[in-house]
Amino acid sequence: MDAQFWDERYRSSDQLFSGGPNGVLVTETADLPPGQALDVGCGEGGDALWLARRGWRVTAVDISQVALRRAAATATDVADRVAWTRGDLTATLPPAAAFDLVSVQYFPLRRQRDDTALRGLLAAVAPGGTLLFASHDVADLPPGQERGFDPDDYYRPDDIVRLLDDSWTVLVNETRPRTAPAPAGTHHLHDIVLRAQRGR
């Protein structure tokens, strides 16, 4: 799933995703005061725009230039609040302790032997800040439907919990029904949600 893969996927449709924010993000951040946010795998920008329109300053990162151009074109009202950034977070780590919210919504972060990319995302959360990680529940996948995709190649919330030290408080770690219908052609009925707060 490199830049070419995602560019081609976004080019295949005028709009790949709904354009709205993810339900997990809305539910879990509504009570947070605005600050600096990192939107990992921002795609067409639904989450970043929702945050920016609520007062957040957002660094929205994606590997696809096609997705970023599309997102920026819809962000004229909050252009000064979102930095659309092309980047591969497995190669270039975000700045440490820089974000009050690090949001990782359905981002396929491939496992690494040394967990470098994941540790970089954890380190990017500022003291007192929030990590929000949502993924699809792989139990919803019908047997034999993975089509070359092995879910075990990617981090899940429980993998992240194991890397959190005593300075973190896990506020949510659960499986819950999706708040919106699954995308067409998929079988995603449940989300796995991790919300953790870093100590000050």
Q: What is the CATH number of the domain that holds 80?
A: 3.40.50.150
Domain count, the chain: 1
Encode pLDDT of 102-134 as tens digits. Answer: 999 988 888 999 999 999 999 999 999 999 999
φ/ψ (deg, to 5) at 127? -55, 130
Using a pLDDT cut of 90, give the percent of the chain over it.
52
Query: What whole-number distance in Å separates Cα of residue 114 and Cα of residue 29?
Result: 30
Which pLDDT score is estimated for 190?
82
Domain that residue 85 falls in: 3-13+21-198
Write down the mean pLDDT value for the chain.
Answer: 86
Task: Kindly tell me if the per-residue pLDDT of 142 is higher than 70.
Answer: no
Which pLDDT score is estimated for 70?
87
Instruction: Report which of 163, 177, 47, 63 is spatially closest to residue 102, judged by C-alpha positions.
Output: 47
| DSSP state at residue 116 | H
Task: Kindly tell me if the per-residue pLDDT of 172 is higher than 90.
Answer: yes
* Lowest mean pLDDT across 25-39, 73-87, 91-105, 127-141: 127-141
